C-alpha cells in the first residue's frame, strides 16, 4: 500500500485544515486507516481512525468535537477535517492503513490502532503549524 498524505500548512488558532490520505495500488475501503501525529520532542500520538466494517470512527479525547475523519471510496481517500485548531495540534501528521483482515471486530480501538501502527503501511507526514 502506498499512501500520500497532504493538506498540512500554517493556520491561525481557531482555523481549519483538511488533511488527505490518498492510496495507490489498493482499494482503501478494505483498509482501516488511522491518523497519527508527532510534535517536536514528543511521542507519536494516535489521533483518529476509521474502520471498515461500518465506517465506525474513533478519536483521541483532545480532538473530539473538532476533528472529523471520513472516507471517499470514489477517490480512494481518507480525510481528516480539523476545525478549531489549537497550538497544541501542531505536529507532523501521518496516515497509516492496515487491511481489515488484520483487525478483529473484537479489538478495542486502542488495539486496532496498535495493529495499524505496527503492521500497517505509512505515508509520509504532512506538517501542521498552528500559530498567530
Whole-number pLDDT of residue 21: 96
Pair 13, 73: CB distance under 8 Å: no
Chain segment 88-99, per-residue pLDDT in tens? 999 999 999 999
Percent residues over pLDDT 90 in the chain: 80
Q: What is the CA radius of gyration of the chain?
A: 14
Q: Return the closest-CA partner of residue 131 out of 77, 89, 74, 71.
A: 89
pLDDT digits (tens, 9 = 90+) for 46-85: 999 998 867 889 999 999 999 999 999 899 999 999 999 9
Amino acid at each position: 500500500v502506498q499512501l500520500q498524505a497532504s493538506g498540512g500548512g500554517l493556520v491561525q488558532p481557531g482555523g481549519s485544515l483538511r488533511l488527505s490520505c490518498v492510496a495507490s495500488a489498493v482499494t482503501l475501503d478494505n483498509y482501516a486507516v488511522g491518523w497519527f501525529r508527532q510534535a517536536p520532542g514528543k511521542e507519536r500520538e494516535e489521533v483518529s481512525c476509521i474502520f471498515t466494517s461500518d465506517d465506525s470512527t474513533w478519536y483521541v479525547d483532545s480532538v473530539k468535537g473538532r476533528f472529523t475523519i471520513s472516507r471517499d471510496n470514489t477517490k480512494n481517500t481518507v480525510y481528516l477535517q480539523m476545525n478549531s485548531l489549537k497550538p497544541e495540534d501542531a505536529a507532523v501528521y501521518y496516515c497509516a492503513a492496515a487491511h481489515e483482515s488484520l483487525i478483529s471486530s473484537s479489538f478495542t480501538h486502542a488495539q486496532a490502532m496498535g495493529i495499524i501502527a505496527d503492521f500497517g503501511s505509512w505515508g509520509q507526514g504532512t506538517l501542521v503549524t498552528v500559530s498567530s
